[in-house]
Chains A and B, each alone.
Chain A
Amino acid sequence: MTQSTATRTEKNAYQYNMARIVRVTPQTPDTNLYTVEYVNKDQQKQFNFIPGQFMLLSLFGHGEAPFGICSSPNQTGSFDFCIRSVGSLTNALQNLAQDSIVGLRGPFGHGWPMEKLKGKNVVIIGGGIGLVPLRPAILDILENRDDYGTLQIMYGARCPEELLFKDELYIWDNRRDVEYVATVDRDDEHCWAGNIGVVTILFDRITISPKDTYALVCGPPIMYKFVMRELEKIGLPDDRVYLSLERRMKCGVGHCSHCLVGSKFVCQDGPVFSYKEAKTQRGAV
């Protein structure tokens, strides 16, 4: 195993750093939490990221794709990705043995505005796998709970078995300092006692005060328009609503142009945008 040996360009954003998968924790039948650590110990010590940032993960022979970092920014010694198997790379990942080596580039992009959230109320709205890039922000807030006002979490999944981080959801649900509501689109197995419907029905189950409140939103593309409409109704100003966009990405550094949303690169200018900024870019929401 050798590190990539690029020397020609001072800052080669295409340089891979090798990481070992130290643990695989199944979340749902097709989604796993992968805990990784850099092979290079110093690199692992120096590693830090902003909640909402992503990395490009490589399996040589299968390709490379972007994934949001999923662990708390305060976690040391390792970090997590939560990945659903939907294509050749992610299927290959699911079949990897523990201790397998993956290549990483990043972290890239702009994350959630954690500094601005200090002392403010936070509403977190996640749809499906969209909870993944929100989790570092939730964990960071919970680990520094006194630094923030109220925390409300709204989470929707397609069906009960697709809910991620079930043990954590239970904890959030039972904490007095977190208001947690969830819904599923359908419950074919009749195993769910909670809300049924898309994530926007939760706006009837929860009272959001627009005063000093920020919203962080991530979910499937179709979700944003409807959630933004609800937040507008509540009177949350556009510059206090943040969303994480997903686009096809091949480079992560503003070259391949797959992720362009208007004149912005989701990989570098995003993936997190304020709604105010996103609105100015055609096709963003």
Chain B
Amino acid sequence: MDYVPPKKKVAALILKKKDIPKLVRQLTQVLTVYGPVANQSQFKFDTITDGSQLRLDYDTTILPPKKFFIPPTEDMVTFSQSPTLTIHDTLAQSDIESLWNGKRFLVFGVHSCDLAAIKFHDLILTQIYPDPYRTRRREEGIIIGLNCLLPCEDSFCKSAGTLHTTDSADLMLTELDNTYYVDVLTETGRKVVEFCKILFSPASTEQTKLVKKTLTQRNQTFPDPLDSFEEIPSQFDASYEAEMWNRLGRRCFGCGACTMVCPTCFCFDVSDRVELNLKEGARVRKWDSCQLVDFALVAGGHNFRPTIPSRVRFRIYHKFWIEPEQINQIGCVGCGRCTRACPADIDMIELLSDIQKGGN
């Protein structure tokens, strides 16, 4: 599998590794900058105030950068009952402090799998009505992608076809010795480069060739544990009634960790938070999980998915059958986070190969 450079490319530049702190310093003057930082033995995306905090050598993060576009909890409206009911929509224009070119934040160092997941949300959450809360954050964010050169454990991005996704990135970085090779992919990306132009120099033809060679070699070394990933939706059909779901259901604790760490999961719950004065409060949207018992429970007590096997299967059903039906894309980017988060050691690669084998 040869590396195919991004189609929509404005320019190719070089950024020296030692200039990253300078770049971060300049960007933090006008934007909130998030990036991968160490979190004990793992990594997480967090606010960056100093370039030295950035760990662009990270393998994967606990949570995907989804959290900047769909926060774990978010006030949709705030309300006050005194003296009469007043409602304030958090989408109202006055709430938006545009810091720089309509942008408020920048996410640094997003890997291809997560870029693919962001693109996936762009499609799935605009099917009928655009989700206005996510759309706003998406418009306010700048994304700097980063090509992985080493595979991370439990991932299957090559099988899932997301290994060289640059979708949704404004700039895409590839490590090249002491520098980063920078593909400028969007107009926003061009503005970022322009804003810090002293730090960027044009890439030479040799460097462009070298990046292509590096990434082609990278493609060859990455594991590819699942054949014909795109056929899983039709194979899922055949495995729907198979024994594997009961087997998995007996192992699964129903904790929902897999869905909390998933870059493509987007289901949410809505409830009201009332302040202690009982007069004020907010309508809050928060991440929900189809693995939790009350996800499909309706008033009166009927539960459409009352058992763990039915919920385990639903997660896969949603990603590998429903979403392909709806937008012609599988809702899994192969990041492997669900496998790493699972306390029952349920392995997504194993699970998917079981489906491919008919599920028994």
Task: Decide: A263 and B326 in contact? CB cutoff 8 A.
Answer: yes
B291-323 near A? 1/0 per residue, CB < 8 Å: 000011111101010000000000001100110
Interface residue tally on B, bucketed by range = 35 or more
B318 contact set on A, CB distance < 8 A: 257, 260
Contact A60 B128 (CB under 8 A): no
**A257 and B79 within 8 A (CB):** no
Does chain B have a CB within 8 A of A203? no
Cβ-defined contact, B268 with A256, below 8 A? yes
Contact (Cβ within 8 A) A64 B270? yes
Please measure, in the bound complex, the distance between the C-alpha atom of A255 and the C-alpha atom of B272, giving whole angstroms.
18
Given A60-B81, A262-B322, are A257 and B297 neighbors across the interface (CB < 8 Å)?
A: no
Contacts A8-B96, A63-B270, A251-B270: A16 and B77 contacting too (C-beta < 8 A)? yes
Once the chains bind, are B92 and A7 in contact (CB under 8 Å)? yes
Q: How far is the CB of A253 from chain B (nearest CB, A)?
A: 5
A1→B86 contact, CB < 8 A: yes
Interface size on A, residues (CB 8 A): 50
Interface string of A244-282 (1 = CB under 8 A from B): 001110110111111010110100100000000000001
* Cβ contacts under 8 Å, B298 to chain A: 246-248
CB distance from B309 to the nearest CB of A (A): 13
In the assembled complex, which residues on chain B have CB atoms less than 8 Å from the CB atom of A90?
Answer: 299
Cβ contacts under 8 Å, B304 to chain A: 221, 247-248, 283
- Asked if B196 is at the interface of the complex by the 8 Å CB criterion, the answer is no
Residue of A nearest to B269 (CB): A250
Q: Which of B87, B132, B296 contacts A258 (CB 8 A)?
A: B296
Question: Per DSSP, are chain A's interface residues mostly helix, strand or loop, or mixed?
Answer: loop
Q: Which of the residues B93, B129, B290, B300 comes within 8 Å of A11, measured between beta carbons?
A: B129
A253 touching B129, Cβ below 8 Å: yes
Chain B residues with Cβ below 8 Å from A136 are none
> Would A64 and B84 count as touching, CB distance under 8 A?
no
Interface string of B269-303 (1 = CB under 8 A from A): 11110100010010100001010000111111010
What residues on B are CB-neighbors of A250 within 8 Å? 268-270, 288
B72 CB to nearest A CB, Å:
15
Question: Contact between B268 and A255 (Cβ–Cβ < 8 Å)?
Answer: yes
Closest to A11 in B: B129
CA distance A262 to B317 in the complex (A): 8
A47-102 contacts to B (CB < 8 Å):
58, 60-65, 84, 86-87, 90, 101
Tell whether, in the assembled complex, residue B85 and residue A87 are in contact, meaning their CB atoms are under 8 Å apart: no
Assembled-state Cα–Cα distance A221/B268 (Å): 24
Residues of chain B lying within 8 A (CB to CB) of residue A248 = 295-298, 304
What residues make up the interface of B, taking CB atoms closer than 8 Å to A?
76-77, 79, 81, 84-89, 91-93, 96, 125, 127-133, 135-136, 240, 266-272, 274, 278, 281, 283, 288, 290, 295-300, 302, 304, 317-318, 321-322, 325-326
Q: Which chain A residues have a beta carbon within 8 Å of chain B's beta carbons?
A: 1-9, 11-16, 18, 58, 60-65, 84, 86-87, 90, 101, 103, 220-222, 246-248, 250-251, 253-258, 260, 262-263, 265, 268, 282-283
17 A-B pairs with C-beta separation under 8 A: A2-B87, A4-B87, A6-B91, A6-B132, A7-B91, A7-B92, A12-B89, A14-B89, A18-B85, A60-B81, A61-B79, A222-B302, A253-B129, A256-B288, A258-B295, A282-B240, A282-B317
